[in-house]
Structure 1
Amino acid sequence: MLRRKPTRLELKLDDIEEFESIRKDLETRKKQKEDVDVVGGSDGEGAIGLNSDPKNREQMINDRIGYKPQAKPNNRSSQFGSFEF
């Protein structure tokens, strides 16, 4: 493996300004999203997956990823075949 000298990174004023503008933009988006969640939660509406029951949320996730679970049989003959006890 070849070794090389460390590269010097310089922080410029433009970089700092860009970082601050992006950070402020993200903060405003986060506040807007929280406001929508609070308003939607008081009206009985909101994000679909957040306030619904776990079964519905699980079904939404399964639909989104394309997973179709098979129903599990509950009787002994299906678990152990044709064996008799």
Structure 2
Amino acid sequence: MLRRKPTRLELKLDDIEEFESIRKDLENRKKQREEVDVVGASNVDGAVTLSNNTQSREQMIHDRIGYKPQPKPNSHAAQFGNFEF
């Protein structure tokens, strides 16, 4: 394994501003979620709200990592035709 000299990292003003804007955006989202959770908890349909939050959370994670799931065919003929087992 080759050793190399440590790389110097510089923090720029643009980086700080971008960090602050992202942090404020995340805090606003967190506050909105908390407000929705409080309203959803007082609702009679709390179970439906919970499942919607789970789906939206899963969708948000997929969007963040760039995952776009493709539906799998359910027929065996389609699986054998593509050699997927």
Q: TM-score of the superposition, structure 2-length normalised?
A: 0.53
Write the distance in 2 (CA, Å) between the matches of 1:10 and 1:17: 14
**Share of identical aligned residues, percent?**
80
**Structure possessing the higher radius of gyration over alpha carbons:** 1
Aligned position for 1:3:
3
- Find the residue that maps to 1:5 and give its secondary structure: coil
Return 5+ residue gaps in structure 2 as ranges.
52-85
Give the aligned length.
49
- Which residue of structure 1 aligns with residue 33 of structure 2? 33
Q: Which has the larger share of helix?
A: 2
Deviation at 1:18, TM superposition (A): 0.3
Query: Which secondary structure does the structure 2 equivalent of 1:3 belong to?
Result: coil
Q: Distance in 1 between matches of 2:38 and 2:11?
A: 39
Q: CA deviation at 1:43?
A: 2.0
Q: Higher relative contact order at CA 8 Å, sep ≥6: structure 1 or structure 2? A: 1
Cα shift at 1:40? 1.2
* TM-score normalised by length of structure 1: 0.53
Q: What RMSD over aligned residues (CA atoms) do the two structures have, in Å?
A: 1.3
CA deviation map 1:58-85 (0-9, x unaligned): xxxxxxxxxxxxxxxxxxxxxxxxxxxx
Alpha-carbon offset, residue 48 of structure 1: 2.3
